[in-house]
Amino acid sequence: MKNTKQKLAIALLATALLPALAWADPAKVIRIGVAQVGTGSCPVVGGSALSNAHIRGLIENEFKKDGIKVEWNFFKGAGPAVNEAFANKLLDFASQGDMPAIVGKAGGLKTRLILATSRYGTIYFGVPSDSPASKLEDLKGKKVALFKGTNTQLLVNKILDQKGLTERDFKLINMDTATTQAAIATKDVDGAWFGSDVFQLVDRGLVKIIYTNKNQPAVLTRQGHILVTEEFEKANPALTQRLVNVVVKTAAEISEPKNRDKTLQEWAKSGTSYAAYKRDLDGSDLKVRSSPLLDDFFVAQYRDAIQDSLKFKFIRKGFEVNDWFEPKYQQQAIKELKLEGYWTELDSKGNPKNR
């Protein structure tokens, strides 16, 4: 009888502990995907606080004492390749742009968006330096390179739509970043869409820019973020919080004007030059561009991106953005790091919120 009571007590204790065990942090490896590669497929990219955290080994240092390994995966195939890796359960976190993440979520990927990494992202349209073209309309019917499936494609469609154009007005050729650079240098295409890497071609006298979204309304910009799988987040909330803390702390460091040059020098390890990043960010406040806040502005940009993805038939079914976003990790990081008020919260129109 005594043994029976002991067994029952042990069973009850185990049952009581089940909720705690379910929220334990059993992971021994954290797998991070990045929807980009550096020049020559080097595993380094620039453009965000996550980039600096990677270059400095900060996430590895955070988890080293726990014996947790951090694996980085850089995808030449960009957002679509990240989605495939998520689908095959090969990633726990990923840095991605707005449109491919929306396509993945609409397609059934179980992810949570937990942190903003970039906002007001720029885009450029370049043509060979001796081209007679001076505006996008001059390229109608011509060969144009565009990296499809990326947040560049969604933004390009919005830009074209405002000009009364569509993708069908051009002979679009799907090319990744490196292939695009080579193709326009050899004039195998008549024009191409670029990010900050365009300035390296401009400085070599190979390309001239005939369009940029700089100083355009916020709706004509692109955003970036960090995702976590629902499975990993549920099993490892403490690890998720610690990773977010590292990135938010890094975002605060690179937001300081005194650290701007150091930040761009680190990004230049990707193969895109310091000068290119400097020209891309000319007139921009890195503190604004690197804000990790999931504020009303950021939510509104993704809500609009979902609707635009439906409009341009990148997805068949929309979803509620608030069900996808999980701001508690960002909010807790701000609190723990004593960064309340450091970044200005914006309303849905991009104006500072009243405090």
3-class state of residue 119 by DSSP: strand
Confidence of residue 313 (pLDDT cuts 50, 70, 90): very high
Q: Which of 190, 212, 234 is the last residue of a domain?
A: 212
181 and 231 together in one domain: no
Q: What is the DSSP letter of 174?
A: E
Q: Are residues 277 and 191 both part of a single domain?
A: no
State whether 115 and 182 are in the same domain: no
Say if 350 falls within a structural domain.
no
Tell me the residue range of the domain where 192 lies.
124-212
161 lies in the same domain as 198: yes
Does residue 188 fall inside a structural domain?
yes
pLDDT digits (tens, 9 = 90+) for 270-301: 999 999 999 999 999 999 999 999 999 999 99
| Domain membership flag for residue 354 | no
Task: Assess if residue 78 is contained within a domain.
Answer: yes
Give SS3 for 208: strand
Pair 124, 211: CB distance under 8 Å: yes
pTM over cut 0.95: no
Q: Is residue 7 part of a domain?
A: no
Same domain, 173 and 312: no
At 62-85, the pLDDT tens digits run: 999 999 999 999 999 999 999 999
CATH number for position 197: 3.40.190.10
HEC secondary structure over 138-195? HHCCCEEEECCCCHHHHHHHHHHHHCCCCHHHCEEEECCHHHHHHHHHCCCCCEEEEC
The predicted pLDDT at position 40 comes to 87
Total of domains in the chain? 2
What does the pLDDT look like over 223-261, one tens digit per residue? 999 999 999 999 999 999 999 999 999 999 999 999 999
Are residues 235 and 187 located together in one domain of the fold?
no
In a domain? residue 5:
no
Whether 116 and 132 map to the same domain: the answer is no
Note whether 85 and 148 are same-domain residues: no
CB-CB contact of 128 with 259 (8 Å): no
d(CA 228, CA 204): 40
Whether residue 129 is found in the same domain as residue 206:
yes
Whether 233 and 117 share a structural domain: yes
Domain boundary among 182, 212, 242: 212
Same domain, 179 and 227: no
Cα dihedral: 48, 51, 53, 55 (round 10): -150
Q: What single-letter amino acid sits at 142?
A: K
Answer yes or no: is 106 within a domain. yes
Q: Which two tokens stand for residue 118?
A: 């970039």
17 part of a folded domain = no
Instruction: Tell me what the mean pLDDT of segment 328-332 comes to.
Output: 98
Residues 115 and 139 in one domain: no
